[in-house]
A and B are shown apart, each in its own frame.
Chain A
Amino acid sequence: MSDARDDIVTVGLPAEGTHDPGTPPAGIGRAPTGVDDLATEHLIVNMGPQHPSTHGVLRMLVELDGEEIKNAEVTLGYLHRGIEKLAEHRRFDAIGTLMDRGDYVSGIMGETAVALAVEQLMEIEVPRRAQWIRVMMAEINRIATHLLWYGTMGLDTGAMGPFLYAMRDRESLLDILEAVSGARMMFNYVRPGGVVADLPVGIDTKIREFCNAFDTYVEEHDAILSGNEIFQARLNGIGVIDAEKALAFGLTGPNLRAAGVDFDLRKTRPYDAYPEMEFDVPLGATGDAMDRFSVRMEEMRQSNRIIRQCIEGMPEGEHTAKVPKVLRPPAGEVYASVESARGEVGIHLVTDGGTSPYRMHYHGPSLYALQALEDIIPGHLIADGCVMIGSTDIMLGEVDR
């Protein structure tokens, strides 16, 4: 018996015997009845940071009554790299590199947020072609991100197949991203003023091919999982975050839209070329895991629509504005945000006229989703807990920074 084990029990959790597990939320009703007279004990289990379905390095202390989670406490920081502090020592065009390592599967969106912030400060006019390229790349990246989420959602419910089917499509997207930016995940492609390089010759055929193929593939994905009765039984009514709660927790992105709140920065506070794009914002009704699933599935279809519009109507012109080699924004303060695959990614920059920011704050949606998770998990079973973690699509790189 090591001391460490005793410590785990006491950290942040009530001492033995003092904790009132409370009544489970209405509609759960799976609490065993009639066992109260027997001497039962809650089991405190350390879930993560190496647990298969904690999506990276999330650690949760869960207090179990049999299979039912009575209490869940999230421990953060296993992937902390100090991105915000590091940014204070980077040139403005290099902050994107750090953003790639924040939400490391949707890098383009994070880079765009930084670029927008710097452009606002320096009042740079971004050429139209650059804006269109940014939108197209962001949407390609969004589908790639959602595909990864879709695959892991399948894994969380125990289905192996969907993950590999999702990887097939994600692979062709990463190939496209690589052809354009030179990297598969850490792009550093979007820079203040535009993008770092113009589209390579012949990429439009490749993208068009993908768009056409994805029309069928996305239906296939939908059929493999959402058409499955077991999957529906696992997701329906699980982990409800209604509109009120979602807003109270500050959720954004698909998690908020699944609750029926129409808030998509691409529509409500459009940036880049989004005002010119035609697309719908899918909304859910109740905010349960199934709604979050369906919203993301539909978003993939809509992103495909946007990519198609971009490739058909790509304007001619420069891929970047004329910007100085060393960016030196005036002293000031700015907040710019983009609709990332997981929600609002915002960059708050405070500058002092130097070549790197005085202070940067990185607002990522996953941290807020994680707080909501802590609230909704108690009262559900372990298996539901995994589904909830999967369906809120948290990204630990972005939570821990």
Chain B
Amino acid sequence: MSPTLAVIIKLVSIIGLMLTNGVFMIYLLRKVLGHLHIRLGPMHVGPHGILQTMNDVIKLLTKEDLTPRLADKALFYLAPMIVFVPSFMAYLALPFSDTLKATSLETGLLFTLAALSVVPIGILLAGWSSGNKWGLLGGMRSAAMQIAYEVPLLLSVLPVVMLAGTTDLGRIVEAQAGVHLGFIPGWFIANPLLWPSFVIFVIASLIEVNQTPFDMSEAESELVAGFGTDYTAMKFGLIYLSEFSNTFIVSAIGVTLFFGGWLVPWIPMAWYDAVPVLAPTVFILKTYLGIVLMWWIRGTYPRVRIDQLMDLGWKRLIPAALVMIVLTGVVDKLIVPLVTGTVG
């Protein structure tokens, strides 16, 4: 197979994954939120409403594409792309299994997080260019928030990188193989040293994907629909799709970093080769568990205020993440070698 063909196949698969996954996630979200809210969610289109999102996609594709008179037209069209493309790029380095990944990047973790951090720029542009004051407020919130959470997000994954000794997502998963004491999985979440980092990671990624309690840039009850107020049809669809796709990516990163990626503890490595679908299935199941957890929070919590979010980001999360980096370094590189007598 020629390298060009391979690249095309990979890109097409990612787009396919994004779209089908997005459509499925929207259905799942409605059902999960529905049942959390003692109602049923979509029920009418297809059995248990499974075709509802298909309907909505068709609706989005066929609706009139409005451009407000006061909008900055070029940017107004560009913004959904800027939101969409990075979430597409972020799929590139995700390891669905040992072999099933688009590319094996040395800097996979950094690449993925860097790609995701472009999204708020698109949101800022979307809000700014739509010529709507609510949109502007939403976009500005997004810009202000970006600094407050991107830093702790990146800092919170550093302890994992220190323990794994790599930023290659695939090798981070491999570093979590095996079991401690015969039954505790070798996942990084089993290491108490990383628990604070995990909490910081969860909070920061909730902000990253614009989920309640941190959906500040959309904030329906305050800003009508924030940056998306004037977006219609498929431009809105792209922003929406990218939001779901980001949710998936953030959850997948969490699974990769803390929950052993595609690894199942207690089973021999040979099984993964014998059953090729095992690893991707496990990975996707774990990712969906993470997503449902996020939606659980979304369905239950009120929204924090923007200044409270800033306080949380700057005054709590960043110092805490820095402390955890130092602590991880001291414990892992100094105390553990001293105790076990392996100091080099």
Does A168 lie within 8 Å of B33, measured CB to CB?
Answer: no
A158 near B302 with CB under 8 A, answer yes
Q: Is the CB of A383 within 8 A of B305?
A: yes
- Name the distance in Å between A46's Cβ and chain B's nearest Cβ: 8
Q: Which residues of B contact A51 (CB under 8 A)?
A: 224
Cβ contact within 8 Å between A230 and B303 = yes
Q: Interface-forming stretch among B34-42, B176-184, B191-199?
A: B34-42
CA distance A228 to B143 in the complex (A): 28
How many angstroms from the CA of A292 to the CA of B171 in the assembled complex?
55
**Bound CA–CA A53/B213 (angstroms):** 17
Q: Using A43-B133, A224-B300 as known contacts, say yes or no to A159 and B222 having CB atoms under 8 A apart.
A: no
Closest to A380 in B: B305
- Determine the chain B residues whose CB is within 8 A of the CB of A160 once the complex forms: 33, 37, 212, 298-299
Q: Which residues of A contact B298 (CB under 8 A)?
A: 160
- Chain A residues with CB under 8 A of B38: 164-165, 168
Q: Are B224 and A158 in contact (CB under 8 A)?
A: no
Q: In the bound complex, what is the Cα–Cα distance between A62 and B136 (angstroms)?
A: 15
Residues of B within 8 A of A386 (CB): 221-222
* B64 interface hit (Cβ, 8 Å): no
Q: Interface range on chain A: under 10, 10 to 19, 20 to 34, or 35 or more? A: 20 to 34
Q: Given the known A-B contacts A53-B221, A67-B137, are A161 and B300 also in contact in the complex, defined by CB atoms under 8 Å? A: yes
Cα(A158)–Cα(B304), bound, Å: 8
Q: A30 at interface (Cβ–Cβ under 8 A)?
A: yes
Question: Which chain A positions have C-beta within 8 A of B133?
Answer: 43, 45-46
Contact B299 A161, beta carbon cutoff 8 Å: yes
Residues of B within 8 A of A201 (CB): none
Asked if B308 lies at the interface with its beta carbon under 8 angstroms from chain A, I say yes
B73 to chain A, nearest CB (A): 16
- Of all chain A residues, the one with the shortest Cβ separation from B225 is A52
Min CB gap B147→A, angstroms: 16
Check B134 for interface membership: any CB of A closer than 8 A. Answer: yes
B19 to chain A, nearest CB (A): 26
| Residue A355 CB within 8 A of the other chain | no
Among candidates A64, A164, A231, residue contacting B302 with C-beta atoms closer than 8 Å: A231
Tally of B interface residues using CB under 8 Å: 32
Would you call A225 and B221 a contact (CB within 8 A)?
no
Known: A161-B37, A228-B301, A234-B302. A382 touches B212 (CB 8 A): no
- B306 touches which of A67, A161, A228 (Cβ 8 Å): A67
Are the C-beta atoms of A382 and B223 separated by less than 8 Å? yes
Closest to A50 in B: B224
- Check if A172 is an interface residue, CB within 8 A of chain B: no
Contacts of B301 in A (CB 8 A): 158-159, 228, 230
Q: Give A88 to B150 CA distance when docked, in angstroms.
A: 64
Q: What's the Cα separation between A30 and B133 when bound, in Å?
A: 21
In the complex, what residues of A have CB within 8 A of residue B221's CB? 52-53, 155-158, 386
Chain B: which residue is nearest A45 at the CB level? B133
Partner of A154 from the list B136, B215, B302 (CB cut-off 8 Å) is B302
Q: Are B306 and A381 in contact (CB under 8 A)?
A: yes
- Distance, CA A168 to CA B39, complexed state (A): 9
Given A158-B221, A386-B222, A233 contacting B304 (CB threshold 8 A): yes
A231 surroundings in chain B (CB, below 8 A): 302
- Whether A288 is near chain B, meaning CB under 8 Å from some CB there, is no
On chain A, the residues within 8 Å of B215 by CB distance are: 158
Q: Contact flags (1/0) for B306-328 with A, using CB distance below 8 Å? A: 11100000000000000000000
Is residue A384 contacting chain B, with contact meaning CB distance below 8 A? yes
Residue of A1, A45, A225 contacting most chain B CB atoms (<10 Å): A45
Cβ of A384 and Cβ of B37 under 8 Å apart?
A: no
B39 touches A164 (CB 8 A): yes
Which B residues lie within 8 Å of A224 (CB)?
300
Which of A46, A154, A155, A381 makes the CB contact (< 8 A) with B307? A381
Give the chain A neighbours of B206 by CB distance below 8 A: none
The answer to whether residues A382 and B213 also contact, given A158-B219, A160-B299 and a CB cut-off of 8 A, is no
**Contact residues, B1-54 vs A (CB, 8 A):** 33, 36-39
Q: Are A159 and B307 in contact (CB under 8 A)?
A: no
B273 interface hit (Cβ, 8 Å) = no
Q: How far is the CA of A160 from the CA of B308 in the complex (A)?
A: 20
B220 in contact (CB, < 8 A): yes
* Chain A residues in 8 Å Cβ range of B307: 30, 67, 381
The one of B70, B224, B303 in contact with A157, judged by C-beta atoms closer than 8 angstroms, is B303
Bound form: Cα–Cα A30–B306 in Å: 11
Which single residue of chain B is at the shortest CB-CB distance from A64? B137
Q: Are A230 and B220 in contact (CB under 8 A)?
A: no
| Residues B305 and A164 in contact, CB atoms below 8 Å apart | no
Q: Residue on B with the closest CB to A233? A: B308
Q: CA A382 – CA B137 in complex, angstroms?
A: 10
Contact A234 B304, beta carbon cutoff 8 Å = yes
- Indicate if the CB atoms of A53 and B39 lie closer than 8 Å: no
Q: Which residues of A73-118 are within 8 A (CB) of B?
A: none
A53, B36: Cβ atoms closer than 8 Å: no
> CA of A53 to CA of B222 in the docked complex: distance in angstroms?
7
> In the complex, how many angstroms separate the beta carbon of B87 from the nearest chain A beta carbon?
24
| Min distance, Cβ B246 to any Cβ of chain A, angstroms | 19
CB distance from B113 to the nearest CB of A (A): 26
**13 chain-A/chain-B pairs, Cβ below 8 angstroms:** A43-B136, A45-B134, A51-B224, A67-B141, A67-B307, A158-B213, A158-B215, A159-B300, A159-B301, A230-B302, A233-B304, A233-B305, A234-B304
Given contacts A155-B221, A228-B301, A234-B305, 5 further A-B pairs with CB under 8 A are A158-B212, A158-B302, A160-B33, A233-B305, A234-B304
> 5 nearest interchain CB pairs?
A158-B303, A157-B302, A159-B302, A164-B37, A53-B221
